[in-house]
Structure 1
C-alpha cells in the first residue's frame, strides 16, 4: 500500500468540533453571515452514523447556525492546524441541516470544501439538506502535496437559507484496519466448511492423498469490450484469463443500433456476442434506453409524443426479440437519477412500462436499474435513499426490478461509505447488487491499486453484491484514462497486479489426507471444484460445487 508514515489515524483535525467551547476556532464566511451555537432537541438528534472516528461516537446535539447568508458561497470556516499529509485519504464527516428560509420538504445542496494555500479548492463532500432533518456528510479528499495552510469551508444552499452544522470532523482513515475487518467479514460471507465423505470405501483409502482445486468462483468479475479491443492480443489475453463476464461499451445502446431512424445495425453487437460465445463469457445487456437527454439521438428528439411512444415500443420489440435469452441481465433505462428525458416527454409511467414490456419480451432476463455516484456519498442527486425511493416507485407501478446497478466510477473511495450504501440498498430492497461499470481513477498507480482494493474488498465482503464488472482495463481503451490495470504495451501495472492478487486470495485450494472416518475437510470459497484422490491404483477426479450456506456442506464422493 502507499506509504502512510507518521500519520495518526482517526484523529479529528477540526478543533472544538462538538462546540464545548462555543464558537472558538470557527469564523463566518460572508459579510452578513452570523454564527451562533444551539442545542438540538434530544428526539431530533441523529442516532445512526457510519462515523467510527471515536469508539463510542454519537452525535453531540450541539450545532452551529449560520444565518443571514447573502450568497450561496456564505457559510462558515475553520483553519486546520494539524498537518495534512499527501497521499493519505481523509474522511469528512458530520451532520448538516437547514433552518430559517428553507421551504418545508425542499432539499438544497450543501458542500464541504477544503481551501488549500488560499487558492486550490478541494471537494470534501456534499449532502442534500432539508429543514427538520439531519443529513450525514460522507465525504473524502486526498492531497498531492503538504499544504502550508488549509481551511475547511461549509457553503451552499440559496441566499437567505440558514445552514446548521453538527460535529464536523476531518480525519485520516486507516485502510489497513478496515481491510482486517473485511477479511473476517469475507470469510463469513463467501466461504463454507466442506466435508468430503468417501463413504464405505474409507477402509481401503484411509490416509490416501487428496488435492482440492477451485476451478471457478460463484462471484463473477467482468469487463466491457468493443470491436477494437477484441482485436488486441494483449487485451484478449488478460480478459480471457481474469474475467468471467462481459458488457458492450456502446454497441447495444440505442444511439448505436439505430443512429438513423429505421436503419437498424446489430452487426457490432452480433460480432461481440460471437466473441463472448467463443470464450464462454455471459454478457450484461447495456442498455435498452438512456434517460439522460444528451445521449438521445436527434431523430428521437424530433418525434412528437405519439411517434416517440411508438419508437420506444419499437426499440423494445426489436432488441429483446432479436436477443431473447442471450443477455442474462439488462440495464433498462440508464441513469434515471440523473436524467428524465422519456419521463419528461411521455409521463411518469413510461419508466415502469419499459421494465414491464422488457419482462414480457424476454422473461428470463434480470432487469436492472443502473446509476452512478450512489456509492460515493458526494452527489446530492444520487443518494442511496433517492435510489431506494426510485426503485419503490417503479415497483409500485408494476416494474419487475430484479437488480441494482452501481456503476462505480470512483475517485478516492472510502470503504465505510461504500458499505453504508450497500447496507441501505440491501435492507430496503432485498435485491442483488452489481458494480456494473467500475473504474477507479488515480494518476498515481500505487494509490490506484490501493483505491481499487478498497472498492473490491467492500464489494466482495458484502452479501448483497453478486458481481463486479469493470468499465475497461487497458490504457488507451478506457473512458477514464487514469484507471487502467494494463498498460498500452500489455504489461500489467500495480493496479492490475492488485486485482490479480485479490482474485488469487479469493480462490481456495487444499491438500491433505483422508482421515480414519473417511472424511477430508476444508473451508473454501463458493464455486466449482475438482478433487483429486491419489491411491495405489492411480488418481481419481471428481467435480463438485460449494454453494452458500451456514452449515457445513457434506458431500458424498462415491468414487
Structure 2
C-alpha cells in the first residue's frame, strides 16, 4: 500500500516530458554530434539499438562528444548517458562528467556540471552517468552545448543512449501539499480513544488532551567537544543540545587525525567526556569517523607507513577506538568520504581495502551499525549514481554495511525535486539512509530560514530517510559563521532560521491535540510517532486518575479512558 501510494504521489509531484532534447541520442549514426580534437566512429557494441559512438585519440580528459541544445531558464532537466571504457589508465578507475558549455548574451561563458561518476573501470561494462540539472531562471543564455567526457588522457570509450528530458515541476505550494501528504503517511499513525463513562459525567464538559512528549524520529545535531565540555557561555551551548535534540554527532573529537596527530600522542578524553555527557541526558550518538580516506585527513606519520605495517596500524586503531566507545555510540561512519579519496586503497595497492575496513569494524562489534558517509550525492548531483553502485557493492559482499550517510550541505536554494530524485536513486540500494550533515548557507537569516525549511521537509518527507543530523547551530562554531547559524552571540539569540527549524521540529512535527467530548464516547486523532501523555479535564479540572502514558509507533493505537 505504501509503495503504491508513493508511486501515485510521485506521478502527481513531477511529470517528466517524453521528448528527448537530443537528436540522434541512440548514436545510430554520427549525425548532430561534434567531436573536436578527437576521433568519433560508430561501434557495433551498443547499450541498445545497433550502434554506439566510439571516441578515440583524445589528447585531453575534457574532450568528448557534444551537441548544442535548447535549454529554458527556470526549468529542471534529467540528463543521462551510458558510458563503457575501452581502455583504462588509472587503476582506481576513470572519472566521467556530463556538463554544459554556456555562452551568455554578455559574452561570458560557464561550465555547469549535470552529472559526475568517479572510478569507472573497464570491467564495469556500461555505466549509467545521470543526474538532475536545473537552469537558473535568471541566466541569459545565448547557447548551451552538452558535453560528455572524462577519463585520463588517451582513454578510449563508448557512449550510447544519451537523454535530456525537461522535468515539469508543480508549483511550490503544491509541492508542499504533496510532501505533507507523504509525511502524514509515513511519520504518523492513528490514535483511537475509547471513553467509558462509569460515573455518568456530562460528556460535553470533558476534554481529552493527547500531548506528545518525545519524538521517535531521530533529530540530531553535531557537537563540538571544545564547547560542550568547557561550559561555553555558562553552559548554554550544552543545554541547547540537551533541550532540542535526541541524537548527536561528535564533530571532530573521534577523528583519528584529531585524536592522534602525532604517533602515540593520543587524546580521546574530550570526546569520551562528551559521549558520557550526551548519554547521561538520553541522547544517542553517531560515531564519526573511524578512518577518513581523503589525503588531507591522513596524518603525516600514517602517510609514512606502508604494507603490512600500515594494515596492522589501521586495524589496531579501529579496534582501540571502538573498544573505548563501546556502548556509547549507535553508529560508526567507517571510511569517511571514500568516493572522494582512496588514500589507503592507493597506498596498499588494494582497491578492496575499503571492504576490509568494514570487516574489521563489524568483527570488533557486530551490534553497532556501520555506515558509508559522503557528500555531493543529495545537495548536488555529482556522485549519486556512483554512491549507489558503491552501496550495492558493499551490500553484495556482506561486510556489515547497515546504511548510507548522505551529507547535505546546501550552499544554494535546496531543490525539492532534485533532492527527491537523488534519494529515489540511492534508495535502490535497499538500505536505510541518514541525512548526516545537514546545513544551509545564506547571509540573510530569512532566506536561510526558507532554505532550511525546504531541506527539512524534503528529507523528512522521504521514506528512505531514517534520521536527520544537522551540522552546527551557533555562529561561533558553524563552519561558515553566522551565514549558517540557528543562534548567534553569547546570549544565543535565536535567528529566523532557528525559529523556523524549531517551529517544524517542535510544533508542526509534534502532536498536541485536545478533543472535547460530545455525546460520542470515542474519537480518533492522527499523531506523529513518539511518546505521549493523556490528560483528561472535567469542567476545567484535571482528573489525575485518568492520566496515562503510551508510545505510538507505526501501528495504530487504541487508548481506553475510564471516567
TM-score range, shorter chain: 0.7 to 0.9
1:165-219 CA-partner distances (Å, limit 9, x unpaired): 6442456744433322211111110111111234474854744111111112111
1:85-129 CA-partner distances (Å, limit 9, x unpaired): xxx5x42323313489678xx865132225252424142412448
Once the 2 structures are TM-superposed, how far is the Cα of residue 351 of structure 1 from its aligned partner?
4.0
**Structure 1 segment 178-189 matched on structure 2, within 5 A:** 178-189=175-186
Q: Given the alignment of the two structures, is residue 121 of structure 1 paired with residue 110 of structure 2, yes or no?
A: yes
Q: Given the alignment of the two structures, is residue 434 of structure 1 paired with residue 421 of structure 2, yes or no?
A: no
Per mean C-alpha deviation after superposition, the further-off stretch among 357-366 and 459-468 is: 357-366
Secondary structure of 2:213's counterpart equals strand
Secondary structure of 1:185's counterpart equals helix
Provide the rounded CA distance (Å) in 2 between the counterparts of 1:164 and 1:66: 11
Secondary structure of 1:336's counterpart equals coil
8 A Cα contact 1:485 1:494, kept in partner: no
CA RMSD, 1 decimal = 4.2
TM-score, normalization: structure 2? 0.78
Question: As a proportion of its length, which structure holds more strand?
Answer: 2
Secondary structure of 1:94's counterpart equals strand
Secondary structure of 2:144's counterpart equals strand
Provide the rounded CA distance (Å) in 1 between the counterparts of 2:220 and 2:132: 28
Q: 1:78 to 1:388 in 2, by over 3 A?
A: same
Q: Given the alignment of the two structures, is residue 196 of structure 1 paired with residue 193 of structure 2, yes or no?
A: yes
Aligned residues: 522
Provide the rounded CA distance (Å) in 1 between the counterparts of 2:302 and 2:309: 9
Q: 1:145 to 1:447 in 2, by over 3 A?
A: farther
Provide the rounded CA distance (Å) in 2 between the counterparts of 1:416 and 1:81: 18
Provide the rounded CA distance (Å) in 1 between the counterparts of 2:500 and 2:79: 32
**Structure 1 segment 366-445 matched on structure 2, within 5 A:** 366-376=369-379, 378-380=381-383, 383-395=386-398, 399-412=399-412, 413-429=414-430, 431-442=431-442, 445=445
8 A Cα contact 1:487 1:493, kept in partner: yes
8 A Cα contact 1:285 1:327, kept in partner: yes
Residue 535 of structure 2 is aligned with which of 532, 537, 543? Answer: 532
2:68 match: 78
Q: Given the alignment of the two structures, is residue 112 of structure 1 paired with residue 99 of structure 2, yes or no?
A: yes
1:93 match: 78
1:134-165 CA-partner distances (Å, limit 9, x unpaired): 73632334649543635243242356656456
Residue 208 of structure 2 is aligned with which of 204, 210, 217? Answer: 210
8 A Cα contact 1:333 1:370, kept in partner: yes
Q: 1:482 to 1:78 in 2, by over 3 A?
A: farther
Provide the rounded CA distance (Å) in 2 between the counterparts of 1:176 and 1:68: 51
1:285 match: 287
**Structure 1 segment 506-517 matched on structure 2, within 5 A:** 506-514=509-517, 516=519
Provide the rounded CA distance (Å) in 2 between the counterparts of 1:545 and 1:434: 23
Provide the rounded CA distance (Å) in 2 between the counterparts of 1:374 and 1:471: 16
Secondary structure of 1:407's counterpart equals strand
Provide the rounded CA distance (Å) in 2 between the counterparts of 1:96 and 1:309: 39
1:52 match: none
Per mean C-alpha deviation after superposition, the further-off stretch among 281-290 and 195-204 is: 195-204
1:253 match: 255
Q: 1:416 to 1:190 in 2, by over 3 A?
A: same
Once the 2 structures are TM-superposed, how far is the Cα of residue 491 of structure 1 from its aligned partner?
4.0
Provide the rounded CA distance (Å) in 1 between the counterparts of 2:87 and 2:174: 41
8 A Cα contact 1:19 1:63, kept in partner: no
Q: 1:81 to 1:205 in 2, by over 3 A?
A: same
2:6 match: none
Q: Which ranges in structure 2 are unaligned for 5 or more consecutive residues?
A: 1-13
Q: 1:418 to 1:79 in 2, by over 3 A?
A: closer
Q: 1:264 to 1:132 in 2, by over 3 A?
A: closer
Q: 1:278 to 1:29 in 2, by over 3 A?
A: same
Once the 2 structures are TM-superposed, how far is the Cα of residue 281 of structure 1 from its aligned partner?
2.1
Q: 1:557 to 1:384 in 2, by over 3 A?
A: farther
Once the 2 structures are TM-superposed, how far is the Cα of residue 435 of structure 1 from its aligned partner?
0.9
8 A Cα contact 1:127 1:135, kept in partner: no
**Structure 1 segment 22-61 matched on structure 2, within 5 A:** 28=34, 30=36, 44=48
Once the 2 structures are TM-superposed, how far is the Cα of residue 520 of structure 1 from its aligned partner?
3.7
Q: Which ranges in structure 1 are unaligned for 5 or more consecutive residues?
A: 1-8, 46-60
8 A Cα contact 2:21 2:69, kept in partner: no
Provide the rounded CA distance (Å) in 1 between the counterparts of 2:67 and 2:494: 44
Residue 140 of structure 2 is aligned with which of 142, 147, 164? Answer: 147
Once the 2 structures are TM-superposed, how far is the Cα of residue 34 of structure 1 from its aligned partner?
7.6
8 A Cα contact 2:128 2:385, kept in partner: no
Residue 176 of structure 1 is aligned with which of 166, 173, 178? Answer: 173
Per mean C-alpha deviation after superposition, the further-off stretch among 61-70 and 297-306 is: 61-70
TM-score, normalization: structure 1? 0.78
